[in-house]
Amino acid sequence: EAGVAQSPRYKIIEKRQSVAFWCNPISGHATLYWYQQILGQGPKLLIQFQNNGVVDDSQLPKDRFSAERLKGVDSTLKIQPAKLEDSAVYLCASSYRRSSGNTGELFFGEGSRLTVL
């Protein structure tokens, strides 16, 4: 079974530039998550999709971050314009949902490391 795919693995940009990250979840996983992991900290949820609808985006800085999952499969996270403090690893994860609810087991991609200069 293929895992969660993310690209690019590494990206270096200057502040005020834009960047986009792509994620393809495990086939059949209805729930998709984007997490931000700053060096030395645990992952922090940015946005969560159930199919192509947003479930939770309360921690997403909406003035500069946007995300979409148009067909309920792959997803794109965009940052525009980037700030120095956006330097982090952006993790995509997916999970399947039973009729009784989610299991809590998330399957993570390897992440996209962003450096903002």
Partner 1 sequence: GDSVTQMEGPVTLSEEAFLTINCTYTATGYPSLFWYVQYPGEGLQLLLKATKADDKGSNKGFEATYRKETTSFHLEKGSVQVSDSAVYFCALSDLTGGTSYGKLTFGQGTILTVHP
Q: Which residues of this protein are in contact with partner 1, per CB under 8 A?
A: 3-4, 31, 33, 40-45, 48, 50, 55-56, 91, 93, 95, 97, 99-111
**Toward partner 1, which CB reaches closer, 27 or 100?**
100
Q: Find the shortest distance in angstroms from Cβ 68 to partner 1.
A: 18
Long-range pairs for 28-32: beta carbons < 8 A, 24 or more residues apart: 28/96, 29/94, 29/95, 29/96, 29/107, 30/72, 30/96, 30/97, 31/55, 31/94, 31/95, 31/96, 31/97, 31/102, 32/69, 32/75, 32/92, 32/93, 32/94
C-beta of 60: minimal distance to partner 1 in Å?
Answer: 13
Q: How far is the CB of 42 from partner 1 (least distance, A)?
A: 3
